[in-house]
Structure 1
Amino acid sequence: MRPRIADYPAMRFRRLRRSAALRALAQENVLSVGDLIWPIFVRDGEGVEEPIHSMPGVKRLSIDLAVKAARMAADLGIPAICIFPYTDPALKTEACEEAWNPDNLANRAIRAIKAAVPEIAVMTDVALDPYNANGHDGIVRDGVILNDETVEALVRMALRQAEAGADILGPSDMMDGRIGAIRSALETAGHKDVAIMSYSAKYASAFYGPFRDAVGASGALKGDKKTYQMNPANSDEALRLVERDLSEGADMVMVKPGMPYLDICRRVKDQFGAPTYAYQVSGEYAMIKGAALNGWIDGEKAMMESLLAFKRAGCDGILTYFAPEAARLLRG
């Protein structure tokens, strides 16, 4: 039985807001550098920094500069980065063979970063859209995204990433059964320590547009992704998906996008208690950054408030393009 709250004036909530010291003592949630995962975009070349116009301040980096970025992130205390490749359009096919090429851009980046900055955890994206001539996360035949054939391709892709030295695999495709298939393949191949952070509740969202620009998938995409990504109207379905992925061997689960789905983050954490993450996606980043650049909001305060909101909603960590900027503020 919960105690009855005293009436005013015996209870004055403002007492604990009176000073910074009292506010700190009463603060319920804390954001730390250790909560951040930094997504970066890599491309071929050397010494290349290529601005992404729909994501102000974010650039595609050649592998040598991605290594420097990983070093900077580690020095700031950021525990993990997540690699997304900008694949040469000439390498994109309908069968997506480049996805499991041991020497593809992503796998070369993994090896280079782990060799130079072994202490940082490297997370990867396991989905076919960077390699797909159709721009979809799965193999397409006659306009239909094929589930089981895609899962087979994802297993091959995941194994190559594990061999390259990835610490965390991030299946983002939303195909049925892929977590169990990947986990089984990793165990069989001796990669028992490679973690899986499943994009368990990934919604068919309008907030992904700048990301698709960043990986070069916008022009290639034919149709939409509503047959495999979640309906934004659904909440109970997210819990069933998370339960399924945990039962198949996911170590961590993710909700994507982030801020429009904080209710899902809270439900997932309360229901399962599993390590729960959110992805503050490209559209969320672009809105905050764009408004700040126009002087409409205080960018730093909005950034930090948005990140703290994820912790309040129950998240154990956040994938965010703000990671280095937030880390510098948190370190003072």
Structure 2
Amino acid sequence: MSHQPAAFPHARLRRTRKSAAIRGLVRENALSVEDLIWPVFVRDGEGVEEPIPSMPGVMRRSVDKIVDAAREAAELGIPAICIFPYTDASLKTQDCAEAWNPENLSNRAIRAIKAAVPEIAIMTDIALDPYNINGHDGIVVDGEIMNDETVEALVKMAIAQCEAGADILGPSDMMDGRIGAIRAKIEAEGHKNVAILSYSAKYASAFYGPFRDAVGASGALKGDKATYQMDPANSDEALRLVARDLDEGADMVMVKPGMPYLDICRRVKDQFGVPTFAYQVSGEYAMIMGAAQNGWIDGDKAMLESLMAFKRAGCDGILTYFAPAVARHLNQQ
């Protein structure tokens, strides 16, 4: 910044903070309902809304209740929801074949939402962990997470989701080459307008624990994910990964987790100028909710402040479990 303010008292920086009206005039960033993607969890059954203890206020819903959630999102003005399945343990296998079953939970939910709430955009998750008996995002052979074999499976998963009606594919697996393989196949199959929001910079983080509870992967996971998710110490690597995914056909990119990696969000936006998203992951959500429920922080203010931080860091949108609460707050303003 080249300009230096005049010396005090000619410059009193508090002048622009004097009132709400003036603060509004000089505010550099704004949070909108249109910035939000709401992650939701689908499970089998009917009429089910099952609380997730490690994520206060978040539920696993049966397909019919997921449709109700999509209606709620649309009424609030939330432009997109993202579907994650809680798969029955009996359907988890070594080859993860349930992942591309046209009748799996995610694909049934996509079709049901599209039939009832066609105006809302549906984002999906492309990774094998909800279907993997080993709990990993990729196929495991003799303890090794296989890259190329996993990419083949992910391509089949992507096609099944496109055929169900998905609008945005979210490859979250972190296998090398999966964006190019998915893009080539969905183009060849005629799904030319399906967008890819790639989890390009996804870190091997401790903040995912409650999510793994939500999708039933915690008990299944053997070992860790450090051989394919990013080292939290690395920043330059994130830019290489984003560049690769854009070259392979990603339309949008994501940083995950969110708040501990705001520096990565800023670097990605500054370097590439592409639609940049962050995921305020389950551990971030649980910390805010847990502290709020104990009366240690003002939950609503912390929620809004945390999301504004993403906008300040350059994000165009945020995946957040707070989406309905934030939308209701913003709609009242």
Code of the residue aligned with 1:198 in structure 2: it is: S
For 1:138 and 1:227, the matched residues in 2 are separated by 11
1:330 aligns with 330
**Aligned residue number for residue 87 of structure 2:** 87
SS in 2 for 1:9: coil
Q: State the Cα deviation string for residues 260-301 of structure 1 (Å, max 9, x = none).
A: 000000000000000000000000000000000000000000
SS in 1 for 2:284: helix
1:312 offset after TM fit, Å?
0.2
* Residue aligning to 1:241: 241
Q: 1:17 is matched with which residue?
A: 17
Question: Residue 39 of structure 1: CA displacement?
Answer: 0.1
- Residue aligning to 1:45: 45
Q: Per-residue deviation at 1:29?
A: 0.1
Q: Equivalent residue for 1:133?
A: 133
Deviation (angstroms), 1:175: 0.1
1:71 maps onto 2:68 in alignment: no
User: How far apart are the structure 2 equivalents of 1:213 and 1:98?
Assistant: 19
Detail structure 1 runs of 4+ shifted over 2 Å in the superposition: 1-4
For 2:31, the equivalent position in structure 1 comes to 31
Cα distance in 2 between the residues matched to 1:109 and 1:238: 32
Corresponding residue number in structure 1 for 2:319 = 319
RMSD: 0.6
Secondary structure at the counterpart of residue 137 of structure 2:
coil
Matches within 5 A, 1:188-199: 188-199=188-199
* Residue of structure 2 equivalent to 1:62: 62
Whether 1:154 and 2:154 are equivalent positions in the alignment is yes
- What is the deviation of 1:313? 0.2
Q: Distance in 1 between matches of 2:7 and 2:181?
A: 57
CA separation in 2, counterparts of 1:275 and 1:291? 32
- Give the structure 2 partner of residue 205 of structure 1: 205
Partner of 1:263: 263
TM-score w.r.t. structure 2 length? 0.99
Query: 2:278 is aligned with what amino acid?
Result: A
Post-superposition shift, 1:5?
1.8
User: What's the TM-score, normalizing by structure 1?
Assistant: 0.99
* Equivalence for 2:283: 283
Matching residue of 1:100 = 100
Q: Which residue matches 1:124?
A: 124
Letter in structure 2 aligned against 1:193: N
Structure 1 residue 4: Cα displacement: 3.1
AA aligned to 1:326 is V
Say whether residues 1:305 and 2:280 are aligned partners.
Answer: no
Counterparts of 1:2 and 1:286, CA distance in 2: 41
Please list the CA deviations of residues 119-164 of structure 1 after superposition, one character each: whole Å capped at 9, or x if unmatched: 0000000000000000000000000000000000000000000000
Secondary structure of the 1:233 match is coil
* Identical aligned residues as a percent: 80
Q: Quick one: distance in 1 between partners of 2:331 and 2:90?
A: 43
Residue type at the aligned position of 2:130: P
- Secondary structure of the residue aligned to 2:233 is coil
Amino acid paired to 1:176: D
Equivalence for 2:254: 254
Q: Which runs of 5+ in 1 are unaligned?
A: none
Per-residue Cα deviation, 1:197-221 (whole angstroms, up to 9, x for no partner): 0000000000000000000000000
Q: How many residues align?
A: 332
